[in-house]
Structure 1
Amino acid sequence: MSNEGNSNWQFSLIGQVLGLNVKFKTMESYIQKVWTHWSVPDLCILKPGLFLFKFQNKYEMEDILMNGPWFFGSRPLLLKVWTNDDDIDKMNGNIYPLWIQLPGLRLNLWSSNAISKIASHIGRPIATDKLTANKQRLAYARVLVEVNMPSPLPDLIPIHGPNGKIINQKVIYELKPK
């Protein structure tokens, strides 16, 4: 198989509204209204209720991811970065991007490696918000993780401290799927 077509979609997100089969025109109106301060991507329908949002560049795509979570009414718009391995026929919405907060994170753990390692107890870390990346808000670290549901979502993550003592790091889910 050829990878020629990858460049067409490399700055794309796949998205769906949790629990709703949103029509194309409705989604198109939504992104034009809600994402107007950012970049409005080209919209493609992959299958009923599942969309591809095609951006001009990586920065536009990441801006939308970083400024989430997004809601369609009271329901979350679930977004994930498109990859060449995505099989549209097998997509059934089991992978959810979740924003988590790690309140009171110890200062010695404020590194991208440590935060990523902690977040990986929940899922695959995708990104942190700008305040976390720049260490400007130390009350909590905010991380976007990709979680394959159903899977356990712990409220505490045990961390081995430098002296061997276990520290329980609290986790807050900005939106916890049922």
Structure 2
Amino acid sequence: MEKIRSDTWNVNGFPLVFKPWSPTVIDELNVTHVPVWMLFPNLDPYFWSKAGLSKVASAIGNPICADEHTTNKSKLAFARILIVVDLSKEIPKANKLNTPYHGSLLQSVTYEWVPRFCTPCQNIGHTKDRCNPGKPKARPVYRPKQPVAPRPSGDAETSKSTSPPKEVPQKSPVKKTVATNLSK
């Protein structure tokens, strides 16, 4: 079987992250680099080459590929490029480009989809306004069920008046535990 390298893939427009398995893999999933499809509307014709598109994309992140219409230059309204971006840094809404013909241009950039990213905890899936950085996530702890005492038989009124109340054993307080990484 061919080994799958640790990488981020794009499946149906969403990132799919592969990481090597380890017992602490959940604690190590700090993914900050993801591929994002970026659109460059009304891109100057000077940049409609492989080198030009690479230069435009490299100013934002690591370019992976361009879509078929961009490669074939069949739709010139915008260039669409898949770029690996660092979510821990702000993604620009515009890019300053220099051309030999027009001098300096401000190129707008739009994104098809960017995952929610929390800068304080460096995790994907929520933003900083929903983050609890001081509280680690509690993991469920298995607790066996306590046996249920059988109910007394007979009429409810006679059992109340004739038999003294039974002592109910006190349960020991259950300590809540929080899982911590012991590998350090």
TM-score (norm: length of structure 1): 0.53
- 1:1-178 maps to which residues of 2 (within 5 A)? 8-9=2-3, 14=7, 65=10, 68-69=12-13, 77-79=14-16, 89=25, 90-163=28-101, 165-178=103-116
Larger relative contact order, structure 1 or 2 (CA cutoff 8 Å, min sep 6): 1
Q: Percent identity?
A: 30
Structure 2 match to 1:52:
none
Residues 151, 114 of structure 1: alpha-carbon distance in 2 compared, 3 angstrom cutoff: same
Segments of 5+ residues of structure 2 without an aligned counterpart are 117-184
Structure 1 position 135, deviation (Å): 0.8
Deviations 1:114-135 (A, max 9, x none): 1111111111101111111111
What RMSD in Å do the two structures reach over aligned CA positions?
Answer: 2.7
* TM-score, normalised with respect to structure 2: 0.52
Query: Larger Rg: 1 or 2?
Result: 2
**Number of positions where the alignment pairs a residue of Structure 1 with one of Structure 2:** 111
Give the residue type in structure 1 aligned to 2:113: L
Write the distance in 2 (CA, Å) between the matches of 1:164 and 1:144: 26
- More strand as a share of residues: 1
Q: Deviations over 1:16-63 (max 9, x none)?
A: xxxxxxxxxxxxxxxxxxxxxxxxxxxxxxxxxxxxxxxxxxxxxxxx
Q: CA deviation at 1:147?
A: 1.1
* Structure ranking higher in helix proportion: 1
Aligned to 1:23: none
